[in-house]
Chain A
């Protein structure tokens, strides 16, 4: 049943969503695009774009969006969003409660240390997974990619939202 699958999938994303924002992308993509095929890779990229231009964390945005588009009902959104919130609640409340036990805990420290470099690989994988034919169909898309990347790397303080809007306008006129 689709609601049950939605709930379990976003629960899983909530449990394993280490490293914040972009690091969760490959995990979310693997689950919703490859595993359950609730959305295409291009559609998933659109969600990331929408997430960048709307308030709130990407994990919430994806849960709300997929919840609706997979079921066609607001209740799908509610369920998926709640599911993605449950694990952080349980884990954070436990950590808060036993803050002094965990602060200097050897295991927690090790996990934190190991997750950091892995998170970089997860972000890289998210980017590579999205570099497919749906998103990079022609020369124009590579030019847009190059310009945005160079702007982000070398021009400081350019708001990503501005870049998304400019790319959207460019797409409207170039395609």
Chain B
């Protein structure tokens, strides 16, 4: 494998991670770190962590974002395409096979019973991490109204998450603008 083309190595590394991590997201990060930093040495650990922070805050799946920045750092734009393709391919094939066969079996009473049991479990799996996430998101008594308000707006009032997210970005930008003006007024002393 040593003589393999760097593009193929990128593809293969992300294909492997894409194929063998179930559930997505955070479970993948440790694997990425091992592959990208320790095994392939495409990046220093410090740079990887800095880029990871950006991958987490940019929109889109974190796994895809990580593949994109690693590919870009190693082999430019084409590197990022190859890495992203490797990342996306296993899940694409897996879901396509499932949807192709599942639609035939879905109507069978046995399958429907299985999924009737699974559905409430899935909702519980979505609720469970909220308690832990509260800490990393810095939620306190003072800021608890933000997630609660978002929840009520979407589920009770029926506001689309599209507007909630756009509103959040707009508020953040206004805040930053206002801070910038205040900073200038004070002669650049504060902040």
B107 within 8 A of partner (CB): no
Q: Judging by beta carbons under 8 Å apart, are B130 and A120 in contact?
A: yes
In the complex, the answer to whether A120 meets B147 with C-beta atoms within 8 Å is: yes
Q: Which of B22, B121, B165 contacts A27 (CB 8 A)?
A: B165
**Do A64 and B96 touch (CB < 8 A)?**
yes
- Size band of the B side of the interface? 35 or more
Q: How would residues 137 to 175 of chain A score, 1 for a CB under 8 Å from any chain B CB and 0 otherwise?
A: 100111011101100110000001101101111111011
**Which B128-149 residues sit within 8 Å CB-CB of chain A?**
128-131, 133-134, 136-139, 143, 146-149
**B24 contacts across to A, CB distance below 8 A:** 21, 51, 55-58
- The stretch from B3-11, B33-41, B169-177 touching chain A is B169-177
**Chief secondary structure at chain B's binding surface:** helix
A54-B22, A152-B125, A168-B114 known; A91-B59 Cβ under 8 A? yes
For A137, give the chain B residue with the smallest CB separation. Answer: B116
Which single member of B22, B59, B151 contacts A128 (CB below 8 Å)?
B151
Residues of A contacting B: mostly: helix
What's the Cα separation between A152 and B127 when bound, in Å? 10
Is the beta-carbon distance between B91 and A54 smaller than 8 angstroms?
Answer: yes
Q: From the candidates A92, A113, A118, name the one contacting B147 in the complex (CB within 8 A).
A: A118
Tell me the smallest distance from the CB of B166 to a CB of chain A, in Å: 7
Q: Contacts A57-B62, A74-B96 given: A106-B22 contact, CB under 8 Å?
A: no
The docked-state distance in angstroms from the alpha carbon of A141 to that of B88 is 34
Q: Contact between B59 and A16 (Cβ–Cβ < 8 Å)?
A: yes
Q: How far is the CA of A130 from the CA of B127 in the complex (A)?
A: 11
A115–B57 touching, CB < 8 Å: yes
Q: B62 touches which one: A20, A115, A125, A140 (CB < 8 A)? A: A20
Partner of A122, one of B69, B92, B154: B154
Residues of A within 8 A of B61 (CB): 17, 20-21, 57-60, 88
Q: Which of B4-55 contact A (CB under 8 A)?
A: 18-26, 50-51, 54-55
A5 within 8 A of B: no
| From A89, A130, A174, contact of B122 by CB (8 A) | A130
Given the contacts A54-B22, A91-B59, A107 and B96 also touching, CB distance less than 8 Å: no
- What residues of B have a CB within 8 angstroms of the CB of A22 in the complex? 126, 129
* Given known A81-B88, A107-B176, A121-B148, contact A30–B98 (CB-CB < 8 A): no
Is there an interface contact between B77 and A50, defined as CB atoms closer than 8 Å?
Answer: no
Q: A57-B62, A61-B95 are in contact. Are A130 and B126 (CB under 8 A)?
A: yes
| Known pairs A57-B91, A174-B117; A121 contacts B99 (CB<8 A) | no
Given the contacts A68-B96, A118-B164, A88 and B120 also touching, CB distance less than 8 Å: no
Residues of B within 8 A of A (CB): 18-26, 50-51, 54-65, 68-69, 72-73, 77, 80-81, 84, 87-88, 90-92, 94-96, 98-100, 102-103, 110, 113-131, 133-134, 136-139, 143, 146-151, 154-155, 160-162, 164-166, 168-169, 171-173, 175-176, 179-180
- Given A45-B122, A174-B117, 10 other A-B contacts at CB below 8 A? A20-B62, A52-B23, A56-B91, A88-B59, A88-B61, A91-B60, A121-B146, A128-B151, A167-B120, A172-B117
User: Top 6 nearest A-B pairs by Cβ distance?
Assistant: A171-B117, A56-B91, A121-B150, A88-B60, A57-B61, A167-B121
